[in-house]
Structures are given as structure tokens and as C-alpha cells.
Structure 1
């Protein structure tokens, strides 16, 4: 590497969370130390087209400028800088090799393991979870099965795919009513930022919510309603992760949906959460267990429900690429724990490079005689 670490920021994406990704990228670009890092912007359009710009000397002034910062690459291969380290054909001649990738893509094709596989094939360091952890963290059904194996307490849930639903909708409605009752929550199995989630209070709303969720995924999960506080913990690290102080989300809407997260600005984030020392330590320990159970690396935010009636904790999910603006829960919890935003960026780059270095020790060839 040269004097500066050349960081590729990848943002946008072919996802329902495209605009959220732009907000995250705008925030991160403003917090990097440009004396230490050279930032190369990669913008993926909503149609999945890649565009790459030149190195940035400072951050764009508005979110809309992020698209222009990574202007159309013109002739050549937009991904050439990512694969420059592997190039033997001359196709990437003149491309500056990237030292580390910082993916800021939320949702499908960004935090589900697909783009992580691309980085693995390019043999390039990247921030955050690997292929397996990303895929498991995105699929709520698979994630819950892993949590069950780990012995982490969860709310009752049921799931089915579109083919099963179309074949026997009456059976799955009955199963949800018997096992979960009303109200219940209906979610696409693979999506984030609370997109496609509905609260159903009766059969008619359940049927409508399921149809709505199927617009966003081929698999749907239905979960029981628990009258609970929403507690979150930020996890940072690779094989020996650390947990932040817990925070609490007090939603402006009936539940913490997309509008409450990104639109009305009325939800309250209380950091640290008002918890006893015993419960605080318990939720941090469970967060680390959940992170390790999916083979997490880099960063994750682990979300819990704490039932109001008796204080019982239930793990909700692990988000392997949480919101990352300076006003998001993840960096705010670390700030309260003693690690400011810019230092957090440095740590994530360090963790990515360290994990990549460890992978280079692996023998992927034939077994030695």
C-alpha cells in the first residue's frame, strides 16, 4: 500500500434500500480522515449498473452529488480497480488497485452475501461480515434456526414460501392463528430497514400483510407480538468481538417501521438504555453469542425485545450492515462506550485488513502429500 490507504466506498445498489445506502455513504464520506485515506467512490444504480469515479479530495456537498461523484466510467471495465490485484491480461492497465472495500449497501445484493462473494473472488479486503454471515443475517428464517441451535430465546414464529402459500393458504393462516394469535407481525424473510413489514390484528389484515410481504421476497415469516421494549447492542470485532453499552429505541409509530426510522424523525434513541447492570451484561453477552453463532466479523447490531411484564429477553435479529450515519444507533452506542465515529471507521478498516491477512494463510490448493 502507498502512503494513504485507498478505500473503495460502494453505495447505492439494486435494492429497496437504495436511498438509505446513499444517506449512509454521504455520512461516511464526511467523516473519513482524507490525510490518511484516499476515497474512491463506486455507485451502483437501481438498475444494477456500476459506475466508478476518481479519488475524492473531499466529500460531496449533497446526497444527490454521490451519483455524480462516481460518474459513468466510460470505456473499460468499472470493476477494474477492484480486480487490479488479480489482473494478468492487461485489461486493468492503469487502474489503481484498491486496498480495502467499504460496502455501504443495505438490503438485497448488498448485505446478503452476494457482493461479499465478489470481493472474495477478487481477493480483496472488505469491511464487515463475510459471505456466510451476511447470507444468514439477511435471511430471518435461517438466522432464527441458527439462534435456536445456539439456545438463544426467541419469539414464536412461522414461515412459508410463495409456492406453499398459493397451494394451501388456509392451512398457514390457521397455523399462524393457533401458534401466534393476534396481533402478529408479517415480514419478508430477506429484507432490512423494516421494509414490507405489517402488523396484523385479524385474519383479513393477516392475508393482506402476507400479500404485501410477498412483493419483497419469495419467503415470508410471521412472528408473535410481544409487548416489549426494543433494546439494541453494537458488536465490533472478528473472532474476539466486543459489545457496546445497550441502547433503546422508543418508536414514534406503533412499531419501528421504515417511516419511524427514516422519515418522521420523531423516534427517540436512549443511550445507554435504562437497564439494571445485570440485564445490561446479559444482553451484551447474548449479543456476542449471536454474532459468533453466524460467524460474524467487523460489525453488527443485535436487536432484542425485553418483555414488559417480566423482563424476559428475546433476540430479534442480527443486522450485519446497520445504519451508519453519525445519528444511527450503531455509531452512537459506540460513541457512548468511548469510541467516536472517526475512530470507529479506523477500527473497521483495521479489522478488514487483519481478517484478509489471516485468510491468506489458508491453503486452498490440493492437499500436500
Structure 2
């Protein structure tokens, strides 16, 4: 085993903070089954970093008033950008000073399990590159490109992967000329249209608009959440087909087809199934097949993305399955991806055409359910990811 100790980074400053906690707890379960020693590293919503074994317990995140630095065995830490250090250092406000290779706080490899801003967008990856530590997943450029829906669409089109056209605007452009942007959208596409924040995941801020008033409201909401917004035509008769990819060398999983109420897959549809609103229950998060999931926070199911109602394998033809897998690999390759991704497609049932929708370079629950259906256990999946760091 090339890496004995794995620091799992989770939480973060994005709106997907709670989802990250669930993904990390699932990943830590699988890593321990695979024989790794796990060091939980929690990034609080205010950006403070904490490390220590007690953070392995999901119950700690039930109480928003808990003071992590006061917990026995938990230390406030930081990643030093000094490449000669190559390990965690104590924060200046921490109770202890500088330390080296503390057996409880040293890690051979870092495993980010953060979703969204400051975790999945290349910023964290840049810090880890500066520190010169091995880490799981995409590098700086690939993570940034995968997070940017406009640029990832452009790269996919350049690689011959079908994707819907879109019109985009920054917050500054919208504030300067909102009517001009509305006219640009209406000249490009008939209603209905779909509005999306450019760099958010978990379907946050995504709206289907039937008229100009709805479009304006949706754009304004999206630009509160993100610096850039995109608008694309809404398919009227479609299904979603998703496929995960690991590598290099690249390998595609079986495909899935999510099922949800309404016309769009919402954050609630993805993460609230089976969950109890408003609290996290105690105990460790079980990985697939490792026990019963317990509890949730802010309506997020403790099973994470695994709780979504889906059909695996997707009920599509073998030919279409192979095409989705080929396009998923091509999309991940187009951004120079490493580690794991989940590529989401829209299947136009009127034409049979698959369209690239978006990719998630840190998919919820690490898309383990797709790999289990492909014959690769969760512990085997995380082992592959760690070995590729």
C-alpha cells in the first residue's frame, strides 16, 4: 500500500458544506475498510481548519455551536504553502505550536471531499500544489474548467461532444445592461429557457423560465449566488443520463438515470430523500453496504447522492450506453481531468441525441453507487483514487 495515512478534507465555505460532510464520512468509511489510516480535516464555514480523529464522528456536526478547538484531540491547523514543510502546521491561534509528523496529524496523501466554491474549483488544488503534497483528484486547471459550465461546454464542443448553446453574462454585465442581456437571450432562444449559476453544483439556483419576468427574476437570483450566469434552451421531452469516469487511464462506469418530481432535478431531490430535516444523527457514516445511514442536516440525507431515486443501469439501449460512456471519457479528457468525475447528459427523447450538461469533478458520494454497479467496490474505488494521487 503506497500511502498508509490519508487526510480527508471536507466541509468548506461553499453552500454545499453539508453535502461535503456526508461525502467525506462515506469516503472515510471506505478508506478504513481498505486498510488506510484516516485523518479527518474539517474546514468550517468561516474557513478555519481543524484536524483530529474526533472529527470522524458525524454527531459532532449536529450542533452548530460546538467549538471544535475545545475538543480533546482536535487541533486548529493550516496547510503551509512552503514546499519544504509538506505537512500540516499548527495555526497561530491554536493551543500548540509547530509540529512535525505527529502520528495523529501527519498524512501521506490528501483526499479532498469538498464540493463547490473553494474546494472543487481549483482554489484548494492550488494550495495543495504550492505545498507540494500529493492529493486525489483533478489539478488546478482541470478543476477550474470542470466547475465552469460555460467553459466546459465550449471545450466539449471543441472536442466534438454535443452540448446545448448558451448565453452568459457576468454580474457586472447584468448590472450595466439587464435589458440588453434579456433581449440577447430572447433573440437566441424561444421560451422556455433554463437559467443556471455558472459555477455552482447540486442544482443550486437552477430555474426553468416561461417568460421575460421569470427570466429576469431567475437571473437576478443566480447572480446573488454566483459571479456569472448562463441561459440555455429548455428541452421539452428529455431524461438525464449520468456516467462516472476515473483515471487516467480512463475508465467509464455503468450509466444511471435519476428520477425526480417536477421538470428539473433540484438540490432537494438530490440530497433530501430519506433524510430528516434540521439535524445530523450520531455515528459514523456507513459506506455502501456497510450499515444503515443515519440522520441529516439542513434536509440533507445522510446517504448523500446515494439516496436519490435512480435506475442503474440506465434503461437505454446498449448502443446509447456505449455512446454515453464514450462521451463521458472524452469530456473528462477534454479538461485534462484526473481522479474521478461524474458527467451528466441530457437525452432528448424527441431526437435520441445526448447533450453534455455538466461535469462534477468531486461528485456527491464519489458516485460509488455507479462503480459498485460496475463491479468495483467502494473500498476498491478509493484505493484506486489514492494510488493515483
**TM-score normalized with structure 1 length:** 0.85
Structure 1 SS opposite 2:183: helix
For residues 66 and 123 of structure 1, what CA distance do their matches in structure 2 show?
35
Deviation at 1:85, TM superposition (A): 4.5
Determine whether 1:349 maps to 2:386.
yes
* 1:238-253 paired onto structure 2 within 5 Å: 238=248, 240-253=249-262
Q: Which residue of 1 aligns with 2:40?
A: 41
Asked whether the 8 Å contact 2:242–2:345 carries over to 1, the reply is yes
For residues 273 and 69 of structure 1, what CA distance do their matches in structure 2 show?
45
For residues 328 and 231 of structure 2, what CA distance do their matches in structure 1 show?
23
Q: Which residue of 1 aligns with 2:278?
A: none
Determine whether 1:235 maps to 2:234.
no
Structure 2 SS opposite 1:153: coil
Q: Deviations over 1:23-45 (max 9, x none)?
A: 11222222222672111111111
* 1:1-369 paired onto structure 2 within 5 Å: 5-33=4-32, 36-54=35-53, 59-60=56-57, 62=59, 64=61, 71=69, 77-79=77-79, 85-86=85-86, 91-93=98-100, 95-96=102-103, 97-226=106-235, 227-238=237-248, 240-265=249-274, 267-324=308-365, 330-352=367-389
Deviation at 1:196, TM superposition (A): 1.3
For residues 60 and 16 of structure 2, what CA distance do their matches in structure 1 show?
15
Q: Which residue of 1 aligns with 2:281?
A: none
Change beyond 3 A, Cα 1:86–1:26 = closer
Deviation at 1:93, TM superposition (A): 3.3
Asked whether the 8 Å contact 1:53–1:71 carries over to 2, the reply is no
**TM-score normalized with structure 2 length:** 0.81
**Structure with higher RCO (Cα < 8 A, 6+ apart):** 2
Q: Deviations over 1:247-288 (max 9, x none)?
A: 111222321111111124585211001111111111111111
Asked whether the 8 Å contact 1:81–1:92 carries over to 2, the reply is no
Deviation at 1:11, TM superposition (A): 0.6
Change beyond 3 A, Cα 1:60–1:225 = same
Asked whether the 8 Å contact 1:18–1:46 carries over to 2, the reply is yes
Alignment length, in residue pairs? 343
Asked whether the 8 Å contact 1:331–1:344 carries over to 2, the reply is yes
Q: Deviations over 1:291-322 (max 9, x none)?
A: 00000001000110110112111111111000
Asked whether the 8 Å contact 2:82–2:130 carries over to 1, the reply is no
Q: What residue ranges of structure 2 are gaps of 5+ in the alignment? A: 90-96, 275-306
